[in-house]
Structure formats: structure tokens, C-alpha cells
A and B are shown apart, each in its own frame.
Chain A
Amino acid sequence: MADQATTNADQLAKDDRKTGIGVVATHTAIFLALMGLWELAARGGLLDPLFFPLPSDIVVSFYRLYITQANIWWHLGMTMTEVAVGFVAGSALGIGLALIVGMFDRVRRYLKPYIVILEATPRIAIGPIVIAAFGFGWTSKTVIVMLVCFFAPFVNTLNGMASVDDEELAMMRSMRASRWQTFTKLMLPDALPEIMAGLRLAMASALGGALVAEFISANEGIGVLLAQYTGTLNMASAFVCVFTLTGLGYLIFRSMEALDRYIVFWTDRDRTEVMGRVRAAKWKGLVKEAYA
């Protein structure tokens, strides 16, 4: 499913590159027409404005939340902090633990049942317990994001480590590589594409995890703001929160994609070519000398 999303995004990105001004204009026109339809439908009584606010009202609310009242910034910052800290801590823990477990067969055997049990448990179910333990502040939300972000990197790293080719391991051994060298020069880089895929999955669920945690119980964050506006039937402002989250989600997706292309460059043809030139530049003097 994540792969599907990636492929679609790639396709969209490719389509984007092909666009001329005409296509941009068409997109804009279609978008404005849709908004116009929505506006008319709401004004004409086809849509209940209680739940589907007027697009024009949403625009006004955007201006209010971001500029005049400017109250969304604090909550947005809160949520982003929870996501960032929870993601970094959770995935670091997942990857780190997987690396240790992957290096020692015995540890993996004994840990396996617990991993299976924990993986079967919906992470968010632990949410209320975590909040009870860590309070209503951002700490408990961060811990929940951490839990949400732990498993995908953990499982993927473990799989990546286990899938190293036997002949490649024999090759390292025949060169008398130490355990550490085999790890840093073969197993870790070999597992990187899988690790990155795990990180992308984790990041995709991190924002959702933070939101649900804020819904459960909190006093700050976009989730809290969204719940408050919905509770007071201020739907235009609620939609501003939703669209803000859309933007944030898109930003996160795109930056993870960029990071992926940078780190596991060898899975991408264009990046591989660029890296070839970068590496060649470092050897310039020697090459001139050797191939003179």
C-alpha cells in the first residue's frame, strides 16, 4: 500500500514536470470551478453549512487563525514537536534494537514472541495508558508517537539484516573482515533500502498517531484545536485545521522521499549517475596520474 502511494506520487511528480502553463491554468480553473460549485451548493441549501462551511468562510478563517488571531501556530508547533521527537526517538530505538538483535541470532530467537505479540496489538490502544502514566502534556503524546514509529523501522531493519546474500557474507569472510567490518561495510548499507522504507511507513503514521493521542486527552496541539472547533460547531476553522494537516502531511511525505533518494541513491538511476560524478571528482588527481 505504501508502495502504491509512492508509485502514484512518482507518477504525479512526473506529470508535474510535463506541465506547461496551459495545464496549470486548466488545473486552476477546475479547482476554482469546484470551489464555486461548493459555494453555490452551500448557499443554495444543498449542503448543510453547519457541517460543510462555505469555501469563502474557510478562506476568512485561514486568515484569522494564521494572521489576526495567530493562535494556530502554537498548536501546530506543539504537534510538529511531538511528531519530530517521537519519530526520531521511536525509529532510532527500533533501528538500534533491530541492529543488535540482528547481529545476535540467540537474542532474536528469544525476543521473537514478544515482537509478534506487540505487533498484533494496535499501538494506539496503549494510548490512554501512556497518557495516564505520563500526564496530559506533550510528553505522553511524544511517547505515543514513539510507539507508533517503533515497529516499522524495527521489523524492516531486522528483515534487511536477515536478507544479506550468503555469497556476499562468504566474500567478506574470505577477506578476513571482522564482525564489525562485515556489519558496517555490508550488512548495514545492504539493509538501508529496507530501513528507509520502514522510516517512511513510520513517518506516515506518526502524524496520525499524534492527532489521535491529542484527541484522547491533551490541552495543546492541532488535534486539540480541531476537536475544540468541531465541538463548538466552528466548522470553517475546523477545516482550516484539516487543510493545515494536509499540508503538513504532504511536506513530511515529500521530505522523506527526498531523504530516501539521497541516502539510498543506488536504487534510483538518475541519482546513481549523479553520485558517480561526485565520487569521480574525489579521485580526479589519482585518475589522471594512473591513466596518463
Chain B
Amino acid sequence: MKSLNIQVVDDSALTVKKITKMLEDMGHKIVSVSGTGKTAVFDYQYMKPDLVTMDITMPDMDGITATRRIMDIDKYARIVMITSHSQKQMVMDSIGAGALGYVMKPIDPEKLKASVEKAYAKKLKKK
């Protein structure tokens, strides 16, 4: 798969480092890191990444709301949720908001890779 420009959204600097390392090891490039939902929406408009990894629990705006806002801006946005929430309803809400995948923390690199590839392929079909 081609190298993607990815925006990482998470309020934990440590989680950002872990996700960044995993994605860079897969050959992707991190073009933006956002620590809150609001900055994620703002940064997305300027960076126009190929894919976004989105946390759910963040200060100021949660990841599901941020996903909805990004989808309002760009209906072709590719967003993969990366979160510790395991409730069915939370998964449904994320998918309903427009997320194309869901990876549970602690993050398994293989599951992240599969989810990123699946999300990228899904959106290519729609375009």
C-alpha cells in the first residue's frame, strides 16, 4: 500500500508517540498531531491528511463529535477510531459519525495496520 499522510489525534503524548512509531514503521508519514477535538477539526482543514486516527476521550470536544465535524467538512475523510472504550454503543456512535474503523487500546500494530488499510480501501471504492 502507498505511504499515507496521517493526522494523529490524541491528548496523551505517550500514546501519540506509540501510534506515530507504529505508523512510521508501516511506511506512513505523520503530518499533524492534535491534542484536542477542536484542534483536530481545525488542523484537518489545513493539512487535508489521507487518514486520521482519532481518540474518543479528550478535553474540550470528544472524538465522536470531532469525527462528525470533520465529516461535515469533507465527506470523504478517512477516520479510524483508536480508543480504550469497548462499549458497543460507543462503536456504533463512532461508525454513525463516519469513522471507517475502530482499534482498541492497548494497540496491536497488526490490527492498526489492517484497520488503516481497510479504511483506505473502503474510501477508494466510494470515490
Do the two chains bind? no
Interface residues of B (CB under 8 A from A): none
Interface residues of A (CB under 8 A from B): none
